[in-house]
Structures are given as structure tokens and as C-alpha cells.
Amino acid sequence: MSATTLDKNNELIVSKLAENIIGSEIIKLAAEVNEKIKKGEKIYNLTIGDFNPKIFPIPAELKQAIVDAYNDDQTNYPAADGMLELRQAVSKLLKNYGNLEYKPDEIVVAGGARPVIYAIFRALVDAGDTVVFPVPSWNNNHYTYLNHAKQVIIETSPATNFMPTAADIKPHIGSAHLIALCSPLNPTGTTFRKKELEDICDLVLAENAIRNAKGQKPVYLMYDQIYWALTHGETRHYDPVTLRPEMRNYTVFVDGISKSLAATGVRVGWAMGPKKIIEKIKLILTHVGAWAPKAEQMATANYLNDSAKYDAYLADIKAKLNDRLVGFYKGFQTLKSEGFNVDAIAPEAAIYLTVQFALHGKKTADGHELKTTQDITKYILDEAKVALVPFYAFGASVDSSWYRLSVGTCKIEDVTAAIENLRAALKKLK
């Protein structure tokens, strides 16, 4: 047997990229939660950015359409940029619901939003380029790393509902090649106000006027709006191109059915943007093979073309999500009024609520001090049986006291029960 070259830890040597890639903090926390559940503990698991299909099933008509497509033997390769029928349906959806006009050849379909984001980075970001993004936010750090790019992190605050401002971005605009934004935002469930997004667009347009005069590569904006259909109350979704049509040349959208139709496992997402960029994304995805299955694409096209069913489903799921989000928000406000060091930001969109446990320095009944956010997270899990994701898992400071609370797997009766558990756990702290 031939000798094998090993590293100093007596392990096989792999690429530098693979060796240094960071795993998901959320998955680490999920493993601990799942271990408790396996042991029979009743855990209110509010960590998952997903839906429980038993509580939030995909539309019945979409499910049947998928079955019908398989029965119709729609099982060969799909078109490289997505089935024309689906791209036409998406084009119609964007026009009717978002007042965005993108032709089918300005849309590319992939197996969910993740490969879309990866391909956008690959199409727009060279090694050594600078990517600017706010934290907390989802996975921008990992996609930047995979592209050997430099990251500029903007840590946001509750003063702006954790949304970045033009003033935050302005010091970095001159060196930026890509700005990665998301609204409604994962993990906060908050959104851009019209003026805030207009100011960011104006900043990008002013910078690109300078670069265009010099023949330089522009700064692009990746705008992830995967949750845009799930706004609550009076919240209104805004996008860069509608607000500033000149942004069309510099904006690539991330979108899909994963969240709006509770279809995370169906894996149908898309990007829309300038035709040249979309063509390059198509080529990248072709070599990766990250297509959405043909049957799911054809079924999604059929479903999206039925606006009455689409409207009815959205109205139903939004009402159910809003009931849970508002329930938790009111629960946290009640706890706050009772003198506990907690808080929450009023829900605006998506399936998330931003909540705070300002418990650093508190002591448990046995005298253990909660020194770190990890200590607080563990105490809430062990004592209240409530699992939440701290914002440091999304790139924020490790001492941040803010958390993501997700209701996608939550029964409505769990809201009151979880709040009662939290009250009991908070009462034990000194």
C-alpha cells in the first residue's frame, strides 16, 4: 500500500478553500436541539428558517401539478435557463404583483435561491474584489469566501431595524464591486423603507456615473427579495428598479417560490437582471448542473398562471404567519412590561421576529453567571425549552443580545406556551 501525505493533524490534505471553509452556526445549534428532542424533551424549536409541511403545506394545486408532471414523464433535462413556460409565468408574476418588467430571456431558473446567489457572485465578483454587506444577514460571508473576494461588513443596529443605510455604505462605495442586500431581511423580518432604499440607489448611481466615465467595472447590487410576497400589516415591499429605473443595469434579483409558497424543498428559484448577466449566470449554472427539476418547473408555471389560487394561498399563509408573529411580539412586550430584560421589534414581513434577551451578567438560581451570548442561548434552551438563533450566527458581534425567532414550524398554540416557559425561566434569574 502506497504512503499517503498527511497534514500536521494526521489528516488528508485538501484544497485551501475546502480546508478553511466555515460550517453553519445554525446547523451546530440545530444538532443540540435535535439531541434534546431525541431524548424526549418538549422543545419549542424556533430556529428553523423553514416550514413544517404539516402546518404550512405547499398549495394543494401545486402538489397535484407536480404529481401530474411526473405522470406525464416530464423527467428529462430542463432547458439550461429554465423552462420557457416557467420564465413566461415568472415574467407575468413580476409585472402583475411587483410592477417589474423582465422578459423571459432576462430570467434564469435554478434549484432554489442558493445556486442563484452563488452564480450571481461568480458572474460579478472576481478574486480580490470587494463585497459590501450588512450583518446580521444570511450567508453573504460564505459566498464571498467561495469567490476569494474581500468582505466589508456593516454591522447594523436596532435603531434602523437592522437595515443598512446609505450613510453606512457610503464610506465603502468607492472600493465596492458588489453590494449584497436583502429585503425582507433574513434573519430580522424587517424591510427597507422607500427613502432608505432610494438613498442607497442614488449612491450606487452616482458612483457608477464616475466609473462609467473612466471605463471601469461598475458596482452591482444583488437584491434578494425571496420573502417579498410575505409582508404583513401595512408593510410595503420596495425594490431598487421600481424606485430608480436607472438601477436596472446594475441590479440582479434573487427570487423564487421557496418562501412565498412554503416550498423550500421543491427547489424552484430564479434570478432576473440585465440580459448579458443572466446569460452568464445560465452558463455557470449549466456547468454546475444546478437546475430545478423539470416536473417542478412545469408545475410551478401552471400554478403561477392561476392568479386566483395564488392570491387565495398567499392570503391564507400570510394570515397564519402574522398571527404567530404578532402573538410572539405581544408576548415579548408583555414580558418587557413586567420588568424582564427582553424586547422585540414589531413584525413586518417573512417568517421571522427579531427579539432581544439582554441578560448578560444575570445569574441563574445556582449562581452561574450568564457571561456570554452562548450562555444566554443555552439557558433559554435548557430552562425555557425554547430554541432561538443568536444574531452572531448571521455575522453580528458575538456579544449581540439579539436573536432570530422563526415561526415556520410553530403551531399557534405554541406561542402562549413558549412565552409562559420564558416567563418562568426569566423569573429564576437574579
pLDDT digits (tens, 9 = 90+) for 132-182: 999 999 999 999 999 999 999 999 999 999 999 999 999 999 999 999 999
Amino acid sitting at position 35: E
**Per-residue pLDDT tens digits for 173-217:** 999 999 999 999 999 999 999 999 999 999 999 999 999 999 999
Mean pLDDT for the stretch of residues 256-273: 98
Could you tell me which of 123, 115, 116, 131 has the C-alpha nearest to residue 277?
A: 123
> What residue ranges define each of the domains in the chain, with the CATH number in brackets?
16-56+312-427 (3.90.1150.10), 60-306 (3.40.640.10)
Does the pLDDT at position 2 exceed 60?
no
Mean pLDDT, the chain, rounded, equals 96
Instruction: With residue 392 as reference, give the H or E element that holds it.
Output: none
Does the pLDDT at position 232 exceed 60?
yes
pLDDT at 1: 45
Rounded to 5°, angle at Cα 19 from 18 and 25? 85
Could you tell me which of 30, 20, 2 has the C-alpha nearest to residue 381?
A: 30
DSSP 163-209: ---HHHHGGGTTT-SEEEEESS-TTT-----HHHHHHHHHHHHHHHH
Mean pLDDT for the stretch of residues 355-365: 97
pLDDT at 4: 64
Cell of 114: 442558493
Cell of 421: 416557559
CB 266 within 8 A of CB 86: no
Cell of 373: 451570548
**Per-residue pLDDT tens digits for 292-306:** 999 999 999 999 999
Cα–Cα distance for residue pair 240/251, rounded to 1 Å: 8
Cα–Cα distance for residue pair 9/294, rounded to 1 Å: 45
Phi, psi at 175, each rounded to 5° = -105, -5
Residues 6+ apart with CB under 8 A from 54: none
Residue written as cell 400570510? 318
Mean pLDDT for the stretch of residues 339-352: 98
Quickly state the pLDDT bin for 49 (edges 50, 70, 90). very high
pLDDT top residue among 10 and 122: 122
Quickly state the pLDDT bin for 274 (edges 50, 70, 90). very high
**Per-residue pLDDT tens digits for 59-111:** 999 999 999 999 999 999 999 999 999 999 999 999 999 999 999 999 999 99
Buried b (16+ CB within 10 A) or exposed e, 402-414: bbbbbbbbbeeeb
What is the strand order of the sheet 389-390 is part of? 342-344, 352-357, 402-406, 389-390
pLDDT at 3: 60
CB 283 within 8 A of CB 69: no
Does the pLDDT at position 408 exceed 50?
yes
Q: Looking at the DSSP assignment, which residues form a beta bridge with residue 177? A: none
Q: Would the CA dihedral through 278, 115, 120, 156 be positive or negative?
A: positive
Does the pLDDT at position 275 exceed 70?
yes
**Per-residue pLDDT tens digits for 374-392:** 999 999 999 999 999 999 9
Total length of the chain:
430
Q: What percent of the chain has pLDDT over 70?
A: 99
Does the pLDDT at position 368 exceed 60?
yes
Cell of 276: 448579458
Mean pLDDT for the stretch of residues 38-42: 91
Could you tell me which of 174, 188, 121, 132 has the C-alpha nearest to residue 394?
A: 188
Answer yes or no: pTM beyond 0.85.
yes
User: By three-state DSSP, how is residue 253 classified?
Assistant: strand
What is the strand order of the sheet 130-135 is part of? 107-110, 269-272, 251-256, 220-224, 178-182, 130-135, 150-155
Residue written as cell 394561498? 313
pLDDT at 250: 98
